[in-house]
Amino acid sequence: MANLMSGQFLVLENPEALAIEAANRFVTLAGQIIAAQGRFSVALSGGSTPEAMYRLLAQAPLKDQVDWKNVYLFWGDERFVPPDDPDNMWRMAQETFLSYLPIPPTNIYPMPTTGVTPAAAARQYTQTLRQFFAPGPPRFDLILLGMGPDGHTASLFPGHPALTPPDEQLVAVVNHAPKPPPTRLTLTYHVINQAAKVIFLVTGSSKAQAVARVWGDDWDPIQCPAQGVNPRHGHLLWLLDQDAAAQSLVLNR
Ligand code: 6PG
């Protein structure tokens, strides 16, 4: 089956160049969206790749180019560990940029991971999304995503039930994730593919085979969840460094 990838891709020389590209795009998009609609809603990515981008946003000049009081931050997924756990992605974002920004705490919506069961947390976050985006469906202005060597994205892992959620499920609980910690919360494709813009940030040779698979002719989003990201009415951009793109002929035209 022919590849149905409808996105664009940009290959950057190295992770540092990719972080600069991603941070500048964030700033430009924030300015455009806030000017047009008064607020900019973003679902942040977990993992280590976005850290360099987040650190750039936390310092001049980029920090001073964003109207942070009109930026609203959510997460695409979260590890179900307490906020003070080193594996918690809200904590990573706090440490890399949020604690340095003039962003109102009420603009930040972490996925709940304490005092609730994972299922209750998923229900709570679903309610949070519905209330924030009401009266329309949850449609983020920007969703940042990473990808694992197995083609997972957010906490959507190969073969997992969260890949084929019931019609209205916006946030799914993931148990026995192959990437620790094992219990997670994740936006489903229903939310991800509703976004106005999705940007993948993928670096390193460990991702090269998965990138080649995503852009290859074998279309199987259940076994390669990143292939399932195709915003219906939005724009998809893959930011890759040369190592991640190294096995993809189509990307090295
Ligand atoms: C996580 C993320 C996961 C991540 C990829 C890439 O919990 O870590 O949800 O999807 O984005 O695994 O991780 P790296 O950026 O660390 O390679």
pLDDT at 250: 66
Asked whether 176 and 122 are in contact (CB, 8 A), the reply is no
Would you say the CB of residue 155 lies under 6 angstroms from ligand 1?
yes
How far is Cα 92 from Cα 79, in angstroms, rounded to an integer?
Answer: 11
User: Does pLDDT of 144 surpass 50?
Assistant: yes
Residue of 18, 45, 202 best suited for mutating to test ligand 1, as the one with most atoms within 8 Å of CB = 45
Would you say the CB of residue 225 lies under 6 angstroms from ligand 1?
no
Show the domains of the chain with their CATH numbers: 2-252 (3.40.50.1360)
Q: How confident is the model at residue 193 (pLDDT cuts 50, 70, 90)?
A: very high
Across 64-80, average pLDDT: 98
User: Does pLDDT of 56 surpass 80?
Assistant: yes
DSSP one-letter string for 168-223: T--EEEE-S-SSSSS-EEEE-HHHHTT-SEEEEEE-SGGGHHHHHHHTSS---TTT
Measured CA to CA in angstroms, residue 96 lies from 15, 27, 155, 186 at distances of: 16, 16, 21, 21
Ligand 1 geometric centre to CA of 151 (Å): 10
Across 28-38, average pLDDT: 98
Select from 251, 70, 129, 87 the least CA-distant residue to 121.
129
User: Does pLDDT of 178 surpass 80?
Assistant: yes
For residue 184, which atom of ligand 1 is closest to its CA? 7
pTM of the model: 0.96
pLDDT at 168: 85
Quote the percentage of the chain above a pLDDT of 90. Answer: 92
What are the helix (H) ranges across the chain? 15-37, 51-57, 89-96, 118-133, 189-192, 208-214, 242-245
Would you say the CB of residue 49 lies under 6 angstroms from ligand 1?
yes
User: Does pLDDT of 17 surpass 90?
Assistant: yes
Q: How confident is the model at residue 252 (pLDDT cuts 50, 70, 90)?
A: low
